[in-house]
Amino acid sequence: MNAPSLGQVAFVFYAGIVLCGGVVAVTAPSLIRAMLGLIVSLFGVAGLYFLLLAEFVALMQILIYVGAVSVLMIFAIMLTRAAADGGESAGPGLRGTLRAIPAFLIPAGTLVPLLLRYGVTGFDRPKALAPAALGAGLLGPYTLAFELISVVLLAAMAGAVMLAFEKRGAK
């Protein structure tokens, strides 16, 4: 049997970080702890991008998702939840946990047999991409997608602020 390479060990490490962060995000009784689990999971995904030699995507993962989106979600939680019920809410409970079990088992029961049957092949090394070509791609065919994402984030933040002001005005 072959000894695992350093890349395989790193993949298992980062996959473990993603899974552990996901478990914390799903099972945490408080929303802030769930957000911390999500942030850990997103850092693990950035590590996986580094393993794929996609440094730009990994850094954008950290900058956009870990930085901006997570901070936006934390602000939304702080503005709406604290004003609504004065603190932490109860977790999903037994009923919510029982409903979540099929949501885990169905994809896992589909993917695991497929992976065992067909295996996992390696990836080709990505081509080196000049910064000018990357910029042209991001500002060319993908401009509309980036603008739509910014509008969605702006709407989410505006909605959180509106909900917070409505809750405070009701008291």
pTM of the full structure: 0.58
> How far apart are alpha carbons 44 and 57 in whole angstroms?
13
Q: Per-residue pLDDT tens for 71-97?
A: 888 877 777 765 444 445 556 677 877
On whether the CB atoms of residues 36 and 48 are closer than 8 A, the answer is no
Q: Which domains does the chain have, with CATH numbers?
A: 6-93+128-170 (1.20.120.1200)
Q: Per-residue pLDDT tens for 127-140?
A: 777 777 777 777 77
> How far apart are alpha carbons 51 and 70 in whole angstroms?
23
Q: Per-residue pLDDT tens for 39-51?
A: 999 999 999 999 9
3-state secondary structure of 124: coil
- Range in 10-14, 127-131, 145-149 the model is least confident about: 127-131
> Of residues 8 and 132, which shows the higher confidence score?
8
Alpha-carbon torsion (15, 16, 21, 27), positive or negative: positive
